[in-house]
Chain A
Amino acid sequence: MSELSVNHLLGIKYLNKQDVQLIFETADHFKEVINRPIKKVPSLRDITIANLFFENSTRTKLSFELAEKRLSADVINFSAAQSSVKKGETLIDTVNNILSMKVDMVVMRHPNPGASVFLSKHIKANIINAGDGAHEHPTQALLDSYSIREKLGEVAGKNVVIVGDILHSRVALSNIYALKLQGANVKVCGPKTLIPKYIEKLGVTVETDLRKALQWCDVANMLRVQNERMDISYFPSTREYTQQFGVNKELLDSLDKEITIMHPGPINRGVEITSDVADSKQAIILDQVQNGVAVRMAVIYLLASKLKQ
């Protein structure tokens, strides 16, 4: 039986091509399951999973929780606002306290890059990184690639542009790793202030003209500007940002071809994409959300099967 090469999902950069393939094939199965009248399988009845969210999240947290429940795992939720983290407890202590209640797997979101890597070295549990600062958000990248595969047949050879705040985005970084791993061509597009200076060394190209980027691509993944991560102002105004990097229907219709629009959410309607684009046939934003549950079920299932060994 095939299995993952890793014991944790800390980032896409720790996976190989076969891992991604295995996750997708497993997700295909679970996607069929969640569209049945009875959306649940008993696979993980003996597994307890803790969702530790040290940073706000709505869709990722719900998606993980749903994925866990559809696999029949026992689920406990924890968020920093209610925790003793504020009382000065260290991350290791917090997590070890939870683990001593016999938890098998941890899904963690944390504001610090590398937090899940750090934790994986100090605790005994399988860890799924649900986003760590501007480092990685591997399940998002997996569900994005899965959605491209679903829409366009395969990821290899496709041209994908990631538009927006690349500097502060874990979604961008994980997507770059995932897309490159599967043989896609990747461009990033945004104001130079929001593109890391050395990003091209990761095998992507930089385009600052949105129209050119869209004309080139098969898929445009539109990112939100992460104001909450900015220490200074990286562009003069939202209005000016939208003028240069916002996608509207007019721009989309003026292209020679019909491209696919993706967005990891939450959307700032009227900023990075207008409502008519978000709600258009070209957008697969809600498919991404649905696929998110199946992909997360696959990841949890595959890691749990390693646990059972």
Chain B
Amino acid sequence: MNLLIKSAFIIDTKSDFHNSTQDILIEKGKISKIGTPLENPNNYKELVLDNLHVSQGWFDSSVCFGEPGFEDRETIANGLKTAAKSGFTSVAMQANTHPVIDSNSDIFFVNSKAQNNAVTLLPIGALTKNSESVDLAELYDMKTAGAVAFSDYKTPISNPNLLKIALQYASNFDGLVCSFPQEKRIAGLGVMNENVMSTSLGLKGNPNLAEALQIARDLYILEYTNGKLHIPTISTAESVELIREAKKKKLDVTCSVAIHNLLFSDEVLSDFDTVYKVNPPLRTQKDIEALIEGVKDGTIDMVTSDHNPVTIEDKKVEFEQAAYGTIGLESAFGALQTLFSTKKTIGLLTKGKSRFGLENSSLNIGELANLTLFNPDTKYTFSEEHIVSKSKNSLFLNTDLKGSVYGIIANKKLSL
């Protein structure tokens, strides 16, 4: 792929051209020249876009694409298209499929579906067989096939000894274990945050305690095993504090937060709107403030859209019957920019790469082009027309966002 990008403002702290407007020449998928202005002697396609900004490609550590088994929700092909349109050059896909991705051949299947795409799909293998949280899946075998981490998605590891063994076992081959932070017996039948809102709606609450308790337990086990742990989608102030302390002790732990948990509190549930039914639940303003503080001081390593397409049949029902989850890829950048500066937002969208085994390429001459193209200044109300996903269950609908994505250049492909 050969291309000349005209007048792009580069945001990449690792680039020699950070914070400057440049032309970028890409030849055979590699950045061959950066300068201003650049000639185009070979008559390559020129890319001229309004207020064009460029950064290294973005990464999301948790997306669900439904395939195999739930193609009515989403397919890998359309999921990757959504990712590209949303600025992501790589996404880690959860194993909550049917069948669950818990073997070497399942990883091969997913990889084969994602071949020759601009977006790199990084499969997460199930931690336990069929994600039943009983016996370990063949982690090493999946790792050799390309699994970047091991997770049972939203199924918590109830048995502490299972987590101990998983962390010890995976440390043999530098495997990353993910533990969904929820003590399910404390969470009980809770379908939203436990607070005055759950009380006034008569819905069972899932207290902060359920998350903090599980994280505290996991951190003790991590300290004992010296393993490598990722805690996805934390949602409470207590969790931020626990992980902050663990990092002071130099434990090998990272965590993420779902973007919607940074923006919405449980007050939006007053009308029983199932679009806001997510797991972990939307918490309180106090939690949001602590999470944002955690993002700012680096306690929280990365943000995720926690993209989870759900069909209308599973959402347009009574609240207790409705499925959990929201899509989030399409709104990720625009939503983050309502909270953080563009530079900080880019940092958050690229920071998780190394934890999931991706090289942190930079925007420099000689590097393979792995770029996101965007305009950080557009303002718009997020609506269905912005959704690329097959399912439309976005809790960002009707929210004012800032910044839109043109597309990506990655894997020697331009996707606009």
Q: Which residues of A contact B (CB under 8 A)?
A: 13, 90-92, 110, 112-115, 117-118, 122, 132-136, 170, 173, 196-199, 201-202, 231-232
Q: Is A114 a contact of B201 with CB atoms below 8 Å? A: yes
Q: Is A113 a contact of B196 with CB atoms below 8 Å? A: no
Residues in B neighbouring A196, C-beta threshold 8 A: 198-199, 205
Q: Is B317 a contact of A113 with CB atoms below 8 Å? A: no
Q: Of A115, A133, A170, A199, which is within 8 A of B199 by CB? A: A199
Q: Is A112 a contact of B201 with CB atoms below 8 Å? A: no
Taken together as a complex, chains A and B put the C-alpha atoms of A13 and B201 apart, in Å, by 10
Residues in A neighbouring B200, C-beta threshold 8 A: 13, 173, 202
**Least Cβ–Cβ distance between A143 and chain B, in angstroms:** 19
**Least Cβ–Cβ distance between A88 and chain B, in angstroms:** 11
Q: What is the count of residue pairs linking A and B with beta-carbon distances less than 8 angstroms?
A: 67
Task: Check A135/B202 contact, CB under 8 A, given A113-B320, A198-B194.
Answer: yes
Taken together as a complex, chains A and B put the C-alpha atoms of A198 and B207 apart, in Å, by 11
Residues in A neighbouring B198, C-beta threshold 8 A: 196, 198
Task: Check A92/B199 contact, CB under 8 A, given A114-B272, A117-B272, A118-B272.
Answer: no
Taken together as a complex, chains A and B put the C-alpha atoms of A106 and B317 apart, in Å, by 18
Asked if B203 is at the interface (CB within 8 A of a chain A CB), the reply is yes
Task: Check A134/B202 contact, CB under 8 A, given A92-B316, A112-B318, A115-B318.
Answer: yes
Q: Is B202 a contact of A202 with CB atoms below 8 Å? A: no
Task: Check A173/B318 contact, CB under 8 A, given A113-B272, A231-B188.
Answer: no
**Least Cβ–Cβ distance between B199 and chain A, in angstroms:** 4
Residue with the greatest number of chain A CB neighbours at <10 A, chosen from B189, B318, B321 = B318
Can you list 14 contacts pairing A with B, beta carbon distance less than 8 Å?
A: A113-B272, A113-B319, A113-B320, A114-B202, A114-B319, A117-B272, A118-B318, A118-B319, A133-B203, A134-B203, A198-B194, A198-B195, A199-B199, A202-B199
Residues in B neighbouring A202, C-beta threshold 8 A: 196, 199-200
Nearest residue, chain B, Cβ from A170: B202
Residues in B neighbouring A118, C-beta threshold 8 A: 272, 317-319
Taken together as a complex, chains A and B put the C-alpha atoms of A132 and B272 apart, in Å, by 12
**Least Cβ–Cβ distance between B329 and chain A, in angstroms:** 27
Taken together as a complex, chains A and B put the C-alpha atoms of A110 and B320 apart, in Å, by 12
Q: Of B189, B196, B199, B207, which is within 8 A of A231 by CB? A: B189
Nearest residue, chain A, Cβ from B194: A197
Asked if B50 is at the interface (CB within 8 A of a chain A CB), the reply is no
Q: Is A201 a contact of B202 with CB atoms below 8 Å? A: no
Residues in B neighbouring A135, C-beta threshold 8 A: 201-203
Taken together as a complex, chains A and B put the C-alpha atoms of A13 and B313 apart, in Å, by 29
Taken together as a complex, chains A and B put the C-alpha atoms of A118 and B189 apart, in Å, by 20
Residues in B neighbouring A90, C-beta threshold 8 A: 313, 316-317
**Least Cβ–Cβ distance between A191 and chain B, in angstroms:** 17
Asked if B359 is at the interface (CB within 8 A of a chain A CB), the reply is no
Nearest residue, chain B, Cβ from A177: B200
Taken together as a complex, chains A and B put the C-alpha atoms of A202 and B319 apart, in Å, by 22
B180-203 contacts to A (CB < 8 Å):
188-189, 194-196, 198-203
**Least Cβ–Cβ distance between B1 and chain A, in angstroms:** 48
Nearest residue, chain A, Cβ from B319: A114
Nearest residue, chain B, Cβ from A135: B202
Nearest residue, chain B, Cβ from A137: B202
Residue with the greatest number of chain B CB neighbours at <10 A, chosen from A92, A112, A202 = A112
Nearest residue, chain A, Cβ from B320: A112
Q: Is A112 a contact of B189 with CB atoms below 8 Å? A: no
Residues in B neighbouring A198, C-beta threshold 8 A: 194-196, 198-199
Residue with the greatest number of chain B CB neighbours at <10 A, chosen from A110, A114, A122, A170 = A114
Q: Is A91 a contact of B196 with CB atoms below 8 Å? A: no
Taken together as a complex, chains A and B put the C-alpha atoms of A133 and B191 apart, in Å, by 13
Residues in B neighbouring A173, C-beta threshold 8 A: 199-200, 202
Residues in B neighbouring A91, C-beta threshold 8 A: 317-318
Taken together as a complex, chains A and B put the C-alpha atoms of A202 and B199 apart, in Å, by 9
Nearest residue, chain B, Cβ from A169: B202
Asked if B297 is at the interface (CB within 8 A of a chain A CB), the reply is no
Taken together as a complex, chains A and B put the C-alpha atoms of A113 and B188 apart, in Å, by 17
Nearest residue, chain B, Cβ from A117: B272
Residues in B neighbouring A13, C-beta threshold 8 A: 200
Residues in A neighbouring B205, C-beta threshold 8 A: 196-197
Asked if B385 is at the interface (CB within 8 A of a chain A CB), the reply is no
Asked if B271 is at the interface (CB within 8 A of a chain A CB), the reply is yes
Taken together as a complex, chains A and B put the C-alpha atoms of A215 and B200 apart, in Å, by 28
Nearest residue, chain B, Cβ from A115: B318
Task: Check A113/B199 contact, CB under 8 A, given A118-B318, A231-B188.
Answer: no
Q: A117-B271, A197-B207, A198-B196 are in contact. List 11 more A-B contacts (CB 8 A).
A: A92-B316, A113-B319, A114-B272, A115-B318, A118-B317, A170-B202, A173-B200, A198-B194, A201-B196, A202-B196, A231-B188
**CB-CB nearest 4 A-B residue pairs:** A135-B202, A114-B272, A134-B202, A201-B196
Residues in A neighbouring B204, C-beta threshold 8 A: 134
**Least Cβ–Cβ distance between A9 and chain B, in angstroms:** 16
Taken together as a complex, chains A and B put the C-alpha atoms of A135 and B202 apart, in Å, by 4
Residues in A neighbouring B203, C-beta threshold 8 A: 113-114, 133-135
Residues in A neighbouring B201, C-beta threshold 8 A: 113-114, 135
Taken together as a complex, chains A and B put the C-alpha atoms of A117 and B271 apart, in Å, by 7
Q: Is A113 a contact of B202 with CB atoms below 8 Å? A: yes
B184-236 contacts to A (CB < 8 Å):
188-189, 194-196, 198-205, 207
Residues in A neighbouring B318, C-beta threshold 8 A: 91, 110, 112, 114-115, 118
Residue with the greatest number of chain B CB neighbours at <10 A, chosen from A118, A122, A134, A170 = A118
Interface flags, B341-357, vs A, CB<8A=1, else 0: 00000000000000000
Residues in B neighbouring A136, C-beta threshold 8 A: 202
**Least Cβ–Cβ distance between B192 and chain A, in angstroms:** 10
Taken together as a complex, chains A and B put the C-alpha atoms of A113 and B200 apart, in Å, by 10
Taken together as a complex, chains A and B put the C-alpha atoms of A117 and B203 apart, in Å, by 13
